[in-house]
Amino acid sequence: MAQAERAAELARLLDAAQAELAAAQESAEAAKALAEQLSETERLLAAEQATSDKLRRELAEQRFQAEVAQWKLSSMKVARWSRLGDAIKSGKSNPVRLARGLKGAAKPVKRPTAPKRKLIAGTAKPKDERPGAAFQATSNTRTLNGASFKLKPFRVPTGPNTRPHLTAAVIADPHAEALLRYEWRQTTGFTPRDFARVLPLEVPHLLVVESVTQGPWAEEITGEPGEGLKALLAWCAERGIRTVFWHTKGDVSAYAAAAELFEHRFTADLTVAWPRLQFGVQPRVHNPLPLAGGRIDRVLTLDQLLPEHLSYPDVLTSYRWPAAADCPPGTPQWRLAEIAACGTPIGTEADDRRAHVALRRAYAMGTMSERIDELLDAIGLPSARPTLNTSVLLPVLDPYLMEHALAQVAKQSGVDQLIVIGPPEAELRARDVLPDVEVIHRRPHAAMTEGAMLNAGIDLCEADLVAVMDPRDVYGPHYLSDLRRAFLFSTADIVGKAAFYAHLRKPQATLLKQPEAEYTYLPEITGGTLLARRNALRELGFADLTEGWDEVLMRQCRTDGIKVFSADRFGYVRVRDEDRWLLGAAHLVEYGSAEPHALI
Q: How far apart are CA 225 and CA 444, in angstroms?
A: 71
**Residues 455-500: tens digit of each pLDDT:** 999 999 999 999 999 999 999 999 999 999 999 999 999 999 999 9
Which of 78, 106, 140 terminates a domain? The answer is 78
Task: Provide the number of structural domains found in the chain.
Answer: 4
Residue 206: closest CA among 240, 250, 162: 240
Quickly list H helices, 439-591.
450-458, 479-489, 534-540, 549-560, 580-585
Residue 337: closest CA among 268, 269, 286, 285: 286
Regarding whether 267 and 206 lie in a shared domain, the answer is yes
**Residues 513-528: tens digit of each pLDDT:** 999 999 999 999 999 9
Regarding whether 257 and 324 lie in a shared domain, the answer is no
Domain span at residue 206?
164-280+367-385
- Is residue 302 a contact partner of residue 327, using CB atoms and an 8 Å limit? yes
Average pLDDT over residues 312-318: 94
Which of 355, 385, 415 terminates a domain? The answer is 385
Regarding whether 436 and 494 lie in a shared domain, the answer is yes
Regarding whether 336 and 251 lie in a shared domain, the answer is no
Q: How far apart are CA 151 and CA 295, in angstroms?
A: 9
In a domain, 107, yes or no: no
**Residues 374-399: tens digit of each pLDDT:** 999 999 999 889 889 999 999 998 99
Residue 375: closest CA among 277, 267, 246, 269: 277
Regarding whether 248 and 224 lie in a shared domain, the answer is yes
Residue 280: closest CA among 210, 363, 343: 363
In a domain, 191, yes or no: yes
- Check residue 297 and report its DSSP letter: S
**Residues 405-457: tens digit of each pLDDT:** 999 999 999 999 999 999 999 999 999 999 999 999 999 988 899 999 999 99
**Residues 256-301: tens digit of each pLDDT:** 999 999 999 999 999 999 999 999 999 999 999 999 889 999 999 9
Regarding whether 581 and 475 lie in a shared domain, the answer is yes
Regarding whether 336 and 244 lie in a shared domain, the answer is no
Higher pLDDT, 599 or 19: 599
Regarding whether 330 and 248 lie in a shared domain, the answer is no
Regarding whether 440 and 396 lie in a shared domain, the answer is yes
In a domain, 57, yes or no: yes
Angle subtended at Cα 122 by Cα 117 and Cα 124, rounded to the nearest 5 degrees:
70
Which of 44, 59, 78 terminates a domain? The answer is 78
Angle subtended at Cα 502 by Cα 494 and Cα 545, rounded to the nearest 5 degrees:
55
Question: Using omega within 30 degrees of 0 as the cis cutoff, is the peptide bond preceding 290 cis?
Answer: no
Q: What is the pLDDT of residue 22?
A: 75
Helix or strand or coil: residue 482? helix
CATH code of residue 380:
3.40.50.2300
In a domain, 531, yes or no: yes
In a domain, 87, yes or no: no
Residue 530: closest CA among 491, 475, 587, 594: 475
Task: Tell me how many helices (H) and strands (E) the chain has.
Answer: 21, 22
Q: How far apart are CA 155 and CA 482, in angstroms?
A: 23
Q: Which of 52-61, 65-74, 100-109, 407-416 has the lowest mean pLDDT?
A: 100-109
Q: What are 531's strand-pairing partners?
A: 467, 495
Does 551 have pLDDT greater than 80? yes
Beta-strand pair 509-513/500-504: antiparallel
**Residues 570-585: tens digit of each pLDDT:** 999 999 998 877 767 7
Q: What is the pLDDT of residue 378?
A: 96
Q: How far apart are CA 530 and CA 369, in angstroms?
A: 25
pTM assigned to the model: 0.79
Regarding whether 496 and 397 lie in a shared domain, the answer is yes
Regarding whether 443 and 472 lie in a shared domain, the answer is yes
Regarding whether 360 and 371 lie in a shared domain, the answer is no
In a domain, 110, yes or no: no
Q: How far apart are CA 322 and CA 301, in angstroms?
A: 9
Helix or strand or coil: residue 10? helix
Percent of the chain exceeding pLDDT 70 equals 88
In a domain, 215, yes or no: yes
In a domain, 483, yes or no: yes
Q: What single-letter amino acid sits at 82?
A: S
